[in-house]
Structure 1
Amino acid sequence: MPTVVGTACTLIGLMDIVFPRLRHSRVHALAELLPGAVSSLAAAASIVVGLLLLMLAHGLKRRKRRAWVAAVALLPVGAAAQLLYRHSVIGMVLSLVLMGVLIRYRAEFAALPDPRSRWMALANFVVMGAVSVTVGLLIVRSHPDAIEGSPSLGAQLEHVLWGLFGFEGPVDYRHGADYTVGYSLGALGLLTVATTAYLAFRPEHPAARLTPGTRSGCGSCSPPTGAATRSATSRSAATRPWSSPPAARPRSATAWSPG
Structure 2
Amino acid sequence: MRRDSRRARLIGYLTALGGLILLVSTLPAVGIRLGRMVNVVTPFGVRVTSHVVAVAAGVSLLYLAGQLARRRRMAWLFAIVLFGASFVVELVRQHHYVAAAYSLAMVVLLAASRSKFKAPGDPPTLLEFVRFLPRYFATIFVYGFAALFFERNSLRPSPTIWMNTQTILLGLFGIDGPYHYERNFFEWAFPSSLLVLGVAGLLAAIILVFRPIVSRSFVSADLRDEAIAIVKNFSSDSLDYFALRDDKLFFVSSDRKALIAYTFVARQALVSGDPIGDAPSIPLVIDEFLAMCRGRAWGVSFLAVRESDRDLYVSRGLHTVYLGDEAVIDVRDFSLAGKKWKSVRQSSGRVDRTFRYEWVAETEVSAEMLEELNDISRRWRGKKPERGFTMTLNQDVEGTNPDFRLCIAIDEQGKPGGFLRVVPIYGDHRGYTLDIMRRDPETPNGMTEFLLTRTIMKLDELGCERFSMNFAAWGRFFEVDVDYTVTQRAAKLLLNVMSPFYQIKSLKEFNQRLHPEWVPRCIAYEGFRSLPRVALLYSAAEGFLTLPVIGKYLLPRTVLHPGHPVIGGVAQPRSEDSA
- TM-score, length-scaled by structure 2: 0.20
More helix by share: 1
Q: Rg bigger for which structure?
A: 1
- TM-score, length-scaled by structure 1: 0.40
More strand by share: 2
